[in-house]
Amino acid sequence: MKYAFLVAWREYAENAKTKGFWIGIFLLPAILFLSIQVPIWLEQKATPIRYFVLVDQSGQFSAAVESGLERAYQKRVLESLRDYARKNSTPVAKPAAAVAGPSPWDAFHEANPDSVEAFIRNGGKDAFLERLRPHLKAGAPAFKEPRRLYQAVKLPGGIDPESDLASLARDLKPYLAGERNLEAAGEQVALSAAILIPSNIESHIIRPRDFTHPESRITDAASLAPSSIQYWSINASETRLRDEIERTVNTEIRRREYLARGMDCAAIRQVEQTYAPFASLNPKKEKGKQAVSATDAVKQWAPSGFVYLLWMSIWVIIQMLLTNTIEEKSNRIIEVLLSSVTPGELMMGKLLGIAAIGLTMVGAWMLALFGILSWKAGGASDLALQLLTILKGSNLVLLFSVYFLLGYLMFAGFILSIGSVCNTLKEAQSYMGALTMVMMVPLLTMTFIPKDPNGPLARLLSWIPLYTPFTMMNRAAADPPLFDLIGTLVLLLASAGLALWMAGKVFRIGILRTGQPPKVIEMLRWATRRER
């Protein structure tokens, strides 16, 4: 056993010196950090301002659109203020407590329509910051207001706003297509969208009783009636401006409809805000804590991330084991090593050395995961805070470690068998192709298992040793039956032991073998042949 540990130390030291090892150590934390930070950065910094023109020939909706876009912007300001308060206020000064005062401020926990209205009504950003100021940490940076994503601009000179919509669209086409720019705030900017509202839009509003109305059967842009509100843009993927304007216009139309029918708009709004409370409860949680929170929903899907990490870590490590074995065999280093150790000691040393490399990488990834989530949990990422809470309050990391080790040992048995009979990586490709197809199943079912974690498919895959680590990891958040948890763990342990025992017999025969690699049937005969 002493020589096996010496071989293991040699494997560990040699692999720890490679660039691939250090790239693997730092690549995943970098990806994790960027996956959290880049969307925030893109939203705050890189999203360009979308300039648009609004031509309202009816004269009825331009003010409503302007007001609606302003409310949408104030909602973003409120969200930014909440993040700023959470990040820079003292522990007792949560956003609601920081804005101490009458009840309207208590509605600022979330940026919903009611809290946004209260926010605007009670003074907006300046009032919020004034009441937050006594609770800010020393040296807190000044609040930076988010950029406006949409900016209305005037029609380019020479275009008549009173001309028909077809002429307007024709005149604006060069600007929308990027062939010409228009001026805004003394700069030349590109036009992103044009909203054209016809003068007779009121007579073409679709009401429930107008089910035969021609506009109600519009199915594509080519069949747009001249009396429809037209939204022109070449960027079909950016729909937020269109959605916001459509929602604002329709809200204004309904408000006027209420007034025309003699209805009280304030009373109707109160009625629309009347609802029955609906609570999602989990019967497995302790009494008084059965309510399902946003963190519980994230927890249900968190194991899927661990499944991918488990798959990737096992795949990277067994590839490393295969490469090392074949390279040493092709370079005749194996023959030198076998002059000092037995094939069993050599195989065990390789197994332990690469396992240590894998545990080092996984340990570094776990530390980076906790570090990055702890860092970002205090900022603008609610998801980071939820993930950190889940990791600290669950056994996901422990289960991941167990399934990684046992999954590695089982698959390492297959890899050592393949590496011992192949002289080049090219010869190993046919075997690895079949193994890759087998290992693709956990990835293909990764998003389905959390939806039915104790269903027939999940339980079936759990009892197939090749898929046990991945499937049981994916079921971890659903509290699988104790029989499944213990039974599959025992089966996986036995399968890993059997795989290594059979690999040892193949390794001993194949490691010094040259020539054409044997067929799988022949390798199975070696593995099951009784010793004399």
Same domain flag for 389 and 445: yes
287 in any annotated domain: no
What is the C-alpha separation between 385 and 379, in angstroms, rounded? 9
Same domain flag for 73 and 17: no
Task: Kindly list the distances between the CA atom of residue 260 and the CA atoms of 203, 228, 248, 253, 255, in Å, as whole numbers in the listed order.
Answer: 14, 22, 18, 10, 9
Same domain flag for 201 and 115: yes
Same domain flag for 310 and 254: no
Same domain flag for 19 and 74: no
Between 58 and 29, the higher pLDDT residue = 58
What would the mean pLDDT of 44-62 be, rounded to a whole number?
Answer: 84
Give the model's pLDDT for residue 201. Answer: 85
Burial of 42 (0-12, 13-18, 19+ CB in 10 A): exposed
What is the C-alpha separation between 242 and 525, in angstroms, rounded? 68
Between 288 and 213, the higher pLDDT residue = 288
Same domain flag for 255 and 148: yes
Same domain flag for 440 and 307: yes
Give the model's pLDDT for residue 344. Answer: 82
277 in any annotated domain: no
286 in any annotated domain: no
Same domain flag for 480 and 348: yes
Same domain flag for 87 and 32: no
Q: Which residues, in sequence order, are CB contacts of 353 under 8 Å at separation 6+?
A: 7, 8, 9, 10, 11, 12, 15
Tell me what percent of the residues of the chain surpass a pLDDT of 90: 9
Count the Cβ atoms, other than its own, within 10 Å of residue 270. 10
Give the model's pLDDT for residue 382. Answer: 58
What is the C-alpha separation between 104 and 117, in angstroms, rounded? 10
Same domain flag for 439 and 480: yes
513 in any annotated domain: yes
What is the C-alpha separation between 147 and 335, in angstroms, rounded? 67
Identity of the amino acid at 347:
M
Q: How many domains does the chain have?
A: 2
407 in any annotated domain: yes
pLDDT of 488 higher than 90: yes
- Which domain range does residue 159 map to? 50-211+222-266
Same domain flag for 32 and 69: no
pLDDT of 113 higher than 70: no
Give the model's pLDDT for residue 5. Answer: 82
Give the model's pLDDT for residue 460. Answer: 92
455 confidence band (pLDDT: 50, 70, 90): confident
**Backbone dihedral angles phi then psi of residue 448, each to the nearest 5 degrees:** -85, -40
291 in any annotated domain: no
282 in any annotated domain: no
pLDDT of 293 higher than 50: yes
| 227 three-class SS | coil
Q: Which residues, in sequence order, are CB contacts of 284 under 8 Å at separation 6+?
A: 479
pLDDT of 37 higher than 80: no
Task: Kindly list the distances between the CA atom of residue 132 and the CA atoms of 89, 294, 384, in Å, as whole numbers in the listed order.
Answer: 8, 27, 24
| 231 three-class SS | strand
pTM over 0.85: no
In this structure, of 107-111, 207-211, 239-243, 371-375, the range with the lowest mean pLDDT score is 107-111
Between 278 and 10, the higher pLDDT residue = 10
Same domain flag for 33 and 61: no
337 in any annotated domain: yes
Name which of 367, 366, 365, 388 is nearest 376 in CA terms.
388
What would the mean pLDDT of 353-361 be, rounded to a whole number?
Answer: 85
Give the model's pLDDT for residue 493. Answer: 94
What would the mean pLDDT of 438-466 be, rounded to a whole number?
Answer: 88
